[in-house]
Amino acid sequence: MGKRRSLYLSFLLGPGAFWLLMFFVVPSLLVVVYSFMERSSSGGVIWNVSLEAYAKLFTFDPESLFVNDFVVIFLRSFWWAVLTTVACLLIGYPLAFYIAQQKPTARMILLFMVMIPFWTNFLVRTYAWKFILNNNGLINTVLSSLGMQRIPLINTPTAVLIGLVYGSLPFMVLPLYASIEKFDYTLVEAGQDLGANYFRIFTRVFLPLTMPGVAAGCILVFIPAVGQYVVPTILGGGKVAMLGNILAQQFGAALNWPFGSAIAVVFMILLMAGVLIYFAVEREEEAV
């Protein structure tokens, strides 16, 4: 590699690397640093090293069922993300399978219909459910005009979960479709030829070979779901908070930046650990 070539490389790489370093890596590290600082009641931090923030996160609260409310929210966020992922997989896998089996034109139209929500503004799609579920929303308006009792739908866990699944479904279907479409159907014939029944062909041939799509879809759904802010705010009304809400709260009204940072750090560690474990298990399965 000549001198000219390395000059060329730094010209190509430099600006992007600077931007990412300055406006992504440094801010992320700053959050880690902030989590070990003292709280400044006017926002920001006082530059004294302190473990206060982590202590607050892990202190036992006798009022709460678990260690404290923050831990409850952590658990809830991860649990709901799991539920969302499973629901998206249960709806999305058969859907992707169905689309992949259609004739080219039908396939294109159906795929396009999955793409539209994928590209549609997330706020708008979340608002659509608020419009339906609100106390003066579509369902309750219809109910009351039929002379029936209004039912509380908005600001419930159900509303938040519907919103999460609704927002995430296209992110599950598209990678699934990509891997199902690539599947070589002569393998199914080979399986039948060897006397396997449909169930066995599905579990032993089809599912393992479309696993990369499942993995991609699950990650694309799970991670954004844990960190959701828009859905629990609009459909949960702050009454059923998720991690995103307490993060925003600590950096907003509560003005406790070290604590917010500590939550973000623990959150990222758990997320990374989850992803790493997932891939480790996956690799082990591949090895078998």
For the segment 216-245, give every residue that binds other proteins (CB under 8 A): 219, 223-224, 226-230, 233-234, 243-244
Which position among 69, 181, 216, 251 is part of the footprint of other proteins (CB under 8 A)?
A: 251
CA distance 20 to 207: 38
Helices (H), 153-256: 157-181, 186-193, 198-201, 207-209, 211-226, 230-236, 243-251
User: Per rule CB under 8 A, is residue 48 in the interface with other proteins?
Assistant: no
Measured from the CB atom, is 147 or 195 closer to other proteins?
195
CB 118, min distance to other proteins, A: 8
State which residue, 142 or 281, has the beta carbon closest to other proteins: 142
| Site for other proteins, residues 255 to 284, rule: CB under 8 A | 257, 260-261, 264, 267-268, 271, 275
Q: Does 172 bind other proteins (CB under 8 A)?
A: no
Distance, in Å, from the CA atom of 133 to the CA atom of 111, rounded to the nearest integer, reads 28
Is 123 an interacting residue with respect to other proteins (CB under 8 A)? yes
Name the phi and psi angles at 38, rounded to 5.
-90, 150
Q: Contacts with other proteins in 13-32 (CB under 8 A)?
A: 13, 15-17, 19-20, 23-28, 30-31
Which candidate, 245, 236, 118, 239, places its Cα nearest to that of 175?
118
Q: Whose Cβ is closer to other proteins: residue 64's or residue 94's?
A: 94
Coil/strand/helix, residue 94:
helix
Q: Is 109 in the site for other proteins (CB under 8 A)?
A: no
Query: Which residues between 152 and 171 bind other proteins (CB under 8 A)?
Result: 166, 169-170
Residue 209 Cβ vs other proteins, minimum distance, rounded to whole Å: 19
Per the document, the length of the chain is: 288
Question: Whose CA is closest to 265, among 286, 288, 245, 247?
Answer: 247
Q: Which residue type occupies 146?
A: L
